[in-house]
Amino acid sequence: MGHGAESEPMTARRYKDLPSLAALRVFEAAGRHLSFTNAAAELFVTTSAVSRQIRALEDELGRPLFERQARGLALTKDGAVYLAQVADALRRLDQASAALRGDGSRRTLRLSVLASFAGNWLVPRLPAFERAHPAIDVAMEATTRYADFGRDPVDLAIRFGTGPWQGLHSEPLFPLEFYAVCRPDRRRTGPPLRTPADLAQHTWLEEVHIPAAWPLWLTAAGVPHLTPVRRLTYDHAQLMLDAAMAGQGVALTSDVIAERALREKKLVKPFAITATAAWTYHLVLRPEDRRDPAVAAFRDWIVAEVAAWRADGSRSAR
């Protein structure tokens, strides 16, 4: 038997046409930011270096990955598909390398979390996770934008809704109960707040992402057709609570957002009525990442933390 090309190791033949890892890292950063400038800043190189790497990669692959538009960059159809695959491959390489470095290595766990959930519930409890898992660093992005698990460097997300999300593992963290809150002096001054029907004389505050909250609660309160003096709508749950604390009206909220304000007596519940919603906060991750030790550690911790929080009946005292 000869010793020509046929004797070349199969792995060498299979991978010899791969683009360089450096080029793929540059492409992943540029695709995630949709900006050569921002990718350059992240990678500590010049914008022209990023542009050259992308151009060389496009030449090597024989097709464009980006469309250069007047208002910035956009991925081509091929570029979007390729970005999802490259981002997943780089993430897996990062995880595999971290695992091989041994117990002394540190792991960064990247979370995408709704800002209201992060500030009011998660952040105050994170020190407990860090004490239990000192080798895991938590990097958190607080945002209302859903992380794209296909291309964003994210391991876990907290999403609000009913789920499920296609291609992802998700599990609800707890049933979500809504109730009315207002500033303490609102019950003593101005129009009365003795029964739910009295809400017709007040301003209602609502969060734009959950417009069904008020109808749900009004039905539970037995006044489904009630209307307010006026409505004020906010695109952030914390802003809505700030407005309630400022005396602008009556808001609908939940323990996740309001427990601190209730505990500090900045807000009170004028009624004991609650309504359980179909939507709630979910922990979301890639199905294959359930076996990742750091992801599993965070999942187990937050589930236990939620159970302990729900068992604490004093959290939402009136």
The domain ranges of the chain are: 5-90, 106-174+280-311, 176-277
Q: What is the pLDDT of residues 156-193, one digit of tens each?
A: 999 998 888 999 999 999 999 999 999 998 877 778 89
Q: First CA to last CA across the chain, in angstroms?
A: 86
Helix H or strand E encompassing 241 = helix 237-245
Looking at domain 106-174+280-311, its CATH class is alpha beta
Same fold across 106-174+280-311 and 176-277? yes
Fold classified for 5-90:
Arc Repressor Mutant, subunit A (1.10.10)
Helix H or strand E encompassing 1 = none
Eight-state DSSP code of residue 147:
P
Helix H or strand E encompassing 117 = helix 115-117
Tokens 């910035």 locate to 72
Does residue 85 have a pLDDT over 90? no
To the nearest 10°, report the CA torsion of 163, 168, 171, 176. -30
Q: What is the pLDDT of residues 191-234, one digit of tens each?
A: 889 999 999 999 999 998 888 999 999 999 999 999 999 999 99
Burial of 209 (0-12, 13-18, 19+ CB in 10 A): middle
Does residue 24 have a pLDDT over 50? yes
Does residue 1 have a pLDDT over 80? no
Tokens 């469309």 locate to 67
Cβ-contact 90, 31 below 8 angstroms: no
Give me the DSSP letters along 173-190.
-S-EEEEEEB-GGGGTSS
Whether the ω angle into residue 19 lies within 30 degrees of 0, i.e. cis, is no
CATH architecture, domain 176-277: 3-Layer(aba) Sandwich (3.40)
**CA–CA dist 123, 141 (Å, integer):** 12
More confident residue, 1 or 211: 211
Cβ-contact 247, 183 below 8 angstroms: yes
Beta-carbon contacts of 103 under 8 Å, excluding residues fewer than 6 positions away, are 135
* Helix, strand or coil, per DSSP, at residue 219: helix
- Residue 145: which pLDDT band, with cuts at 50, 70 and 90? confident
* Helix, strand or coil, per DSSP, at residue 213: helix
Taking the alpha carbons of 164, 303, 175, 261 in that order, is the dihedral positive or negative?
negative
